Amino acid sequence: MPDLLNNDTTISQIISLVIAALLGGLIGLEREAEQRPAGLRTYMLVCVGSALFTILSIHAFPSELPRDTARVAAQIVTGIGFLGAGTVWRARDHVTGLTTAAGLWVAAAIGMAVGAGLGVLALAATVLVLIVLAVFLRFERRFLRHRHLRDEQSSALDDDSPAA
């Protein structure tokens, strides 16, 4: 049995998983601060899982024939779609959870980038996601206040309605 921890490839793969966890955690912290349903652990797990599946698709299935590593990537996208769909809720004419679903989707892409060895791209995407989530939320609250007031009024109506 080979000594797996003395293998440079294995060490770099473990480092990739840690990086994926950290990047997913940054996004998850922002979501926790906004008290969203998917937070720190969820985003970390999505990033790590995507990175791991990507690493596996590249390294774990050696073959003499040309292989299609994109198959696993396609399945990650499909799987994360199911997870994201579970975060979207519709009540009357009001839909919530779309940003959470989109965040999980992009967290999976960030994990895939890390797993593929594109750490700088993953870091840039993480920074961009944090800007979109934090900075543009403040922009929306300030300049698109009418939308947020309407959402709050709709939520208040939902809270006042009798239980079915």
pLDDT in tens, the chain (164 residues): 455 556 778 899 999 999 999 999 999 999 999 888 888 999 999 999 999 999 998 888 777 777 777 888 888 988 888 888 888 877 777 777 888 889 999 999 999 999 999 999 999 999 999 999 988 888 887 777 655 555 555 444 444 434 43
| SS3 assignment, position 95 | strand
Domain range spanning residue 109?
4-160
CA distance 123 to 15: 14
Inter-axis angle of helices 98-115 and 70-85, nearest 10: 160
Q: What is the pLDDT at residue 123?
A: 97
Tokens encoding 99: 């940003």
Q: What is the pLDDT at residue 35?
A: 85
| SS3 assignment, position 101 | helix
Q: What is the pLDDT at residue 159?
A: 41
135 burial via Cβ count (<10 Å: 0-12, 13-18, 19+): exposed
CA distance 48 to 66: 27
Start-to-end CA distance of the chain, whole Å, equals 61
Write down the residue that tokens 């809720």 correspond to.
89
Q: How far is the CA of 14 from the CAs of 91, 125, 140, in angstroms?
A: 43, 21, 39
Q: Are 42 and 28 contacting, i.e. CB atoms less than 8 angstroms apart?
A: yes
pTM: 0.79
Q: Nearest to residue 45, comparing CAs of 66, 19, 20?
A: 20
CA distance 61 to 16: 19
Domains held by the chain: number: 1
Strands 89-91 and 94-96: antiparallel
